Amino acid sequence: MNTFIAFYQNLGLALTLLVIGTFLLAGTIKGVIGLGLPTVAMGLLGLAMMPAQAAALLIIPATLTNVWQLAFGGHLQGLIKRLWPMLLAIFIGTGAGTLWIGMAGGHWVVRALGAALLLYALSGLFLPTLKVRPDSERWAGPVCGLLTGVITSATGVFVIPAVPYLQALGLNKDELVQALGLSFTVSTLALAAGLLWRGDLGGGELTASLLALIPAVLGMWLGQWLRQRISAPVFKRVFFVGLGALGAHLLISG
């Protein structure tokens, strides 16, 4: 408890409110469209703190919400059997990226985060859904996993290129939501291991991350309520536009 209080005392009131508001918004978006919590959290928190610190704060909210997402749907065993090469490559890529790049700080890391967000937004807005043939999954999955892992290790964002790849597999709605939860869980655990190895994830950061879990869960409940009342395609389009603007700001201002 002392480390929890000390961490947020060091952040100050303004940044503490930013953390709460960020995870409330990120959780709401995830509740509506099934993804976006770490992406939005890293983007907004990246405006006020270093990516390694922001990534440490999202570990517990991202892990628990993703485990919840992958636990329901009834397709977990089949998805693991189909996606394990990609999942293993994500873990390997994150580990290699931690050793090679890591979130050591500096303007280039912030710009890399902005570029990842902008690329993801543009792909969501303008690119048609790709199709991956079953006979191509053997090599495409591991390549996608390695790239996702390296990007995760540098920016804390693990949607590129994992999300477009999973969308291209032709999964039904329930399978896709569960596959996203599975991929994000592996990415979050790999990121946590990398941060722990580099000394960026200690007891204070983990304890402080518990605060972010509360608004994240509240946001997910709100998002699920909103999902029944608004058009998901319209919301998703607005989400990508806002995400692209945020990414462009980080890329330019660094």
Give the pLDDT score at 11: 59
Mean pLDDT along residues 37-54: 82
Region of poorest pLDDT, from 57-61, 75-79, 171-175, 181-185 = 171-175
Task: For residue 19, give the nearest of 40, 33, 34 by alpha carbon.
Answer: 40
d(CA 102, CA 151): 10
| pLDDT band at 7; cut points 50, 70, 90 | low
**Helix (DSSP H) and strand (DSSP E) numbers for the chain:** 11, 0
Give the pLDDT score at 140: 95
CA angle 160, 165, 169 (to 5 degrees): 160
Number of CB atoms found within 10 A of residue 124's CB? 19
Task: For residue 119, give the nearest of 147, 81, 80 by alpha carbon.
Answer: 147
Does the pLDDT of residue 63 top 60, yes or no? yes
Range ranked top by mean pLDDT from 24-28, 41-45, 152-156: 24-28
| pLDDT band at 179; cut points 50, 70, 90 | very high
Q: How many domains does the chain have?
A: 1
d(CA 232, CA 254): 32
Number of CB atoms found within 10 A of residue 209's CB? 24
**Pick the residue with more confidence: 133 or 5?**
133
Does the pLDDT of residue 4 top 60, yes or no? no
pLDDT tens for 89-107 read 999 999 888 877 666 556 6
Residue 74: which region, alpha, beta or left (left: phi > 0; alpha: psi -120 to 50)? left
Region of poorest pLDDT, from 141-155, 157-171, 200-214 = 200-214
d(CA 190, CA 71): 19
Residues of the chain with pLDDT > 70, as a percent, come to: 91
Give the pLDDT score at 1: 46
Q: Find the domain containing 165 and state its range.
A: 2-253
Residues of the chain with pLDDT > 90, as a percent, come to: 22
3-state helix, strand, coil in the chain (%, to 5): 80, 0, 20
CB 184 within 8 A of CB 66: yes
